[in-house]
Structure 1
Amino acid sequence: DSITRLARGYNNLQPNRGRIMSGGVESKALMKPKRFFGAARNVEEGGSLTILATALIDTGSRMDEVIFEEFKGTGNMELHLDRALVEKRLYPAIQPLQTATRREDLLYHPDEWERVQVLRKKMAALPPIEAMETLISNLQATKTNAELLLAGLR
């Protein structure tokens, strides 16, 4: 159910012969989970494979933090969930300012990218819950992403 638990499982099965990282993680224990996660980029005939993996953070476990740090930056996209938004029943319960696609500037026309940056700056000036409420109401008031970007946050 998460890349963290997969790595923990491999760590438990790994004989203690290699280098032990902080948190008690055997360095070789992460090889197979990394290979699995990297399979999305290594498809024969140039096909496409999407692997969605979750990571446990803020658990108080040093092992979980080490595993997260080992995988952080290896994906093409990070989606950060927000428990405070869930508690307010505000969906999607994501942290829009921390959620991003790597090199997303290449996905937009330069004018659109500039407007995305303006939108994010406006959201950053608001408290997180208010920022998400504002974004949701603006999304509901517009029919397309382009229309939202042209209108900006209101």
Structure 2
Amino acid sequence: MPEIPFVAEEVVEEPIDEAASGKSLQEAKNRWIELKRMGMKELINRGLELGLPEPRLLRKQALVFSILEKETGDEANIYAEGVLEVMDEGYGFLRSPDHSYVAGPDDVYVSATQIKRFGLITGDTISGMVRAPKENEKYFALLRIQKVNGDLLEKCRDRVSFDNLTPLHPDVAFNMEYDPGEISTRIMNLFTPVGRGQRGLIVAPPRAGKTILLQHIANAIVKNHPESRLMVLLIDERP
């Protein structure tokens, strides 16, 4: 059973008003990005300049938060960003890509109230302002949400669950016949028609002509459907 974090629920549930925050929010974000781009040696030196105790023992994200806390003051908000993982107990954490999204002591705590109110789910990329842990607390806590998946919070509230979305199946077919002398695309039209929005896989033994067939398909789309945008990626193949 995972350890339940001791974090007070003193969080501000309203999203950030960027017009009101304005300059201070952007400055906090820019400073966070600047520190994240630094190497550990630079961060350690900065920590020593600020008088942090044993900065060499901290992981990168914890060191970044400690530097921001020291630079801005205990009462100031600190910008952070991460990918949400919701726990079975209802609360969650922002995991860092710097540590391959693995749980760590420097993750940001997200309250169950925030997750429920704003409809947050595992996998959401969340940015916002956090505060340093208070006495007897273990984690930084998310105070205000700025954006979810790069969009404003209002869009997140209105989204429909993936399981409840209406699937749209292909209903318009590509005409694969473009050359009277090419039989393979004629056979595709008869037995394996390809619809717009459909994914396909060509399975055949080595040297059976898979790449040539793919070339014929591309030629047919270019000739018969000029309104389509064709993109071809050849991996380990001669152009």
Question: TM over 0.5, yes or no?
Answer: no
> Normalising to structure 1: TM-score of the pair?
0.29
> Normalising to structure 2: TM-score of the pair?
0.22
The structure where helix makes up a greater share of residues is 1
Higher-Rg structure is 2
The structure where strand makes up a greater share of residues is 2
